[in-house]
């Protein structure tokens, strides 16, 4: 397969520049990479849940989208996409549509892990030929960073703030990718925009696999994670190297690990660079919370290695 750079230079630009997402935003990086994986001659219908990507790319009367685009309520991106896909199949069967269309639904973790989970589960269970992308920035970033089911243990948010009586969110993040694997889909994967060739391959596989497919993509958020715009890629790579965000895919129930660090870094390397975890290091070190986070990452990594046949 050609590299992401080669494909980006030759393919159609379905998401233009000039949108109003933050400089360094992981969501726009990953969405452009996902759209680049399509064949130039194929059309695509995009449905998007309310969120950062929606409000920043479709400020009336302007739009950054150069393809069919539907803004949905927070909770129903997958349901809308499944309805459009069903209508397309009916019209195609009647000979009223000649072009080949792909169908892409996406939402942030708020609209996917939480509010839109029922809609997503229903669309996947019904077997619609569509791809769902979750851009996981680990919080309700569009409305000021409230905690979500994806927010990591120990992170400080506006609804789970760190202070004298709290160290941040007390719960661990939900394993949404595992929940979608349990739906027995033909293709499920985890990816990150900091590794574009891996993401490009996974997106293309999802688009050209018959049936419902899901990719969960970690999306570093500049204001929410309190990092600099030039730290998006490095922060993402640390998430992978510490095994906080493993890269893997599940094809027809078979688990495959896509990247195994030569040396698994401690999670503290990932935590220290983000302002949302600053309270774990000062004014006093919360080693107990850091140890809890590390232990949970180690447990999940061990379970993943076993599932992928990599041994303990």
| 156 — pLDDT class (breaks 50, 70, 90) | very high
Q: Residue 184's pLDDT is what?
A: 98
Query: Is residue 7 over pLDDT 80?
Result: no
Q: Looking at the 3D structure of the chain, how many domains does it have?
A: 1
pLDDT of 37 reads 94
Instruction: Provide CB contacts within 8 A for 249, sequence distance 6+.
Output: 187, 188, 189, 190, 202, 205, 255, 256, 258
Give residue 73's pLDDT.
Answer: 93
Band (1; pLDDT cuts 50, 70, 90): low
CATH number of the structural domain spanning residue 278: 3.40.50.970
Contact 47, 74 (CB under 8 A): no
Q: Is residue 230 domain-resident?
A: yes
Q: Which of 10-14, 55-59, 68-72, 229-233 has the lowest mean pLDDT?
A: 10-14
User: Euclidean distance between the first and final Cα of the chain, in Å?
Assistant: 32
**pTM > 0.75: yes or no:** yes
Confidence of residue 13 (pLDDT cuts 50, 70, 90): confident
Note whether residue 99 is domain-resident.
yes
**pLDDT in the model for residue 168:** 97
Q: Which residue range forms the structural domain that includes residue 302?
A: 4-307
Does the pLDDT value for residue 60 go beyond 60? Answer: yes
Q: What is the DSSP letter of 12?
A: -
312 in any annotated domain: no
Task: Mention every residue, 6+ apart, whose C-beta is less than 8 A from residue 163.
Answer: none
pLDDT tens for residues 75-104? 999 999 999 999 999 999 999 999 899 999
Q: What percent of the chain has pLDDT over 90?
A: 85
Rounded to the nearest integer, the mean pLDDT of the chain is 94
């Amino acid at each position: 397969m050609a590299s992401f750079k080669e494909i980006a230079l030759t393919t159609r630009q379905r998401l233009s520049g000039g949108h109003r997402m933050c400089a360094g935003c992981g969501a726009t990086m990953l969405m452009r990479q996902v759209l680049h994986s399509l064949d130039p001659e194929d059309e695509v219908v995009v449905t998007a849940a309310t969120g950062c990507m929606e409000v920043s790319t479709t400020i009336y009367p302007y739009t950054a989208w150069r393809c069919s685009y539907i803004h949905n309520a927070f909770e129903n991106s997958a349901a809308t996409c499944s309805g459009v896909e069903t209508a397309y199949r009916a019209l195609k069967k009647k000979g009223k549509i000649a072009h080949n269309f792909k169908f892409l639904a996406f939402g942030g973790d708020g609209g996917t892990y939480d509010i839109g989970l029922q809609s997503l589960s229903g669309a996947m269970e019904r077997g619609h030929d569509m791809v769902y992308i979750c851009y996981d920035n680990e919080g309700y970033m569009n409305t000021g960073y409230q905690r979500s089911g994806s927010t990591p243990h120990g992170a400080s948010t506006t609804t789970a703030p760190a202070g004298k009586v709290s160290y941040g969110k007390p719960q661990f993040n939900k394993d949404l990718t595992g929940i979608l694997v349990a739906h027995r889909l033909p293709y499920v994967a985890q990816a990150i925009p900091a590794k574009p060739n891996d993401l490009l391959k996974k997106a293309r596989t999802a688009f050209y696999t018959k049936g419902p497919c899901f990719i969960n993509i970690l999306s570093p958020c500049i204001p929410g994670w309190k990092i600099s715009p030039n730290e998006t890629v490095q922060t993402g790579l640390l998430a992978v190297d510490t095994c906080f965000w493993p890269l893997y895919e599940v094809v027809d129930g078979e688990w495959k690990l896509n990247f195994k660090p030569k040396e698994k870094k401690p999670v503290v390397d990932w935590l220290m660079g983000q302002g949302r975890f600053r309270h774990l290091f000062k004014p006093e070190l919360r080693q107990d919370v850091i140890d809890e986070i590390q232990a949970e990452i180690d447990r999940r990594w061990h379970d993943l290695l076993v599932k992928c046949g990599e041994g303990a």
